[in-house]
Chain A
Amino acid sequence: EVQLVESGGVVVQPGGSLRLSCAASGFTFDDYAMHWVRQAPGKGLEWVSLISWDGGNTYYADSVKGRFTISRDNNKNSLYLQMNSLRAEDTAFYYCAKDGVVGPSGWVDYWGQGTLVTVSS
């Protein structure tokens, strides 16, 4: 059974930094690209970032480019999101999500339960 467990969500001040983690199990982690997707409370889904199976390629939404960094450790079956220069509009549930195909990225097929990041003074 695929399991994705996010951690690291807290209340942080504007301009601050935070690192989210996602522990993956139940599948061969280094076969799949991984994603972060966020959802502001009561709002819709926003794709944030994608990392290839080997970490060699990363992609970002324009809203976070230059501030967020996605990374992975295939030895630890873990995904990360380093978030810098946080803004109020970054307040959201952050979901770790697994890609649906081996190799090149495709759709998202499994999601974690999410971790809440609140940016507020």
Chain B
Amino acid sequence: DIVMTQSPDSLAVSLGERATINCKSSQSILHSSNNKDYLAWYQQKPGQPPNLLIYWASTRQSGVPDRFSGSGSGTDFTLTISSLQAEDVAVYYCLQYYSTPYTFGQGTNLEIK
């Protein structure tokens, strides 16, 4: 199984500042047939189901603010929030869908400093 490891587990960032969350896979999730990385990012606020932010490692889901961006390839990926807003307080998860069983990272708790 592919293990997804996020860092840090918890992060406190000031409003308006940049937040960066990392996700590392135990093996490459770049598919050679289409040159796409099978990695998605989700945001989960308390009491709510997760919300899709990014897929194919860097494609923003429709309706997601452009302050959210994804980058990376192979085994190392990053979710960046360019200017943190109060409504961005949440837990963030990465997901690999390269192979079953699909696997999530353990989550990163993002707070306001």
Contact = CB atoms under 8 A, between A and B. Distances in A.
A9 interface: no
B93 A105 contact: no
A108 B95 contact: yes
B101 A105 contact: no
Interface string A43-81: 011110010000000011110000000000000000000
A114 B49 contact: yes
B107 A44 contact: yes
Instruction: Label chain A's interface by main secondary structure.
Output: strand
A55 B91 CA distance: 32
Contact of B55 (A45, A47, A106, A111): A106
B68 interface: no
A57 to B, nearest CB: 10
A59 B49 contact: no
A25 interface: no
Chain A contact-residue range equals 20 to 34
Most buried by A among B49, B51, B103, B107: B49
B87 interface: no
Given A106-B55, A107-B95, A107-B97, 20 more contacts: A35-B102, A44-B105, A44-B106, A44-B107, A45-B104, A45-B107, A47-B103, A47-B104, A50-B102, A59-B101, A95-B50, A100-B40, A105-B97, A106-B97, A107-B38, A107-B52, A107-B55, A108-B40, A108-B52, A112-B49
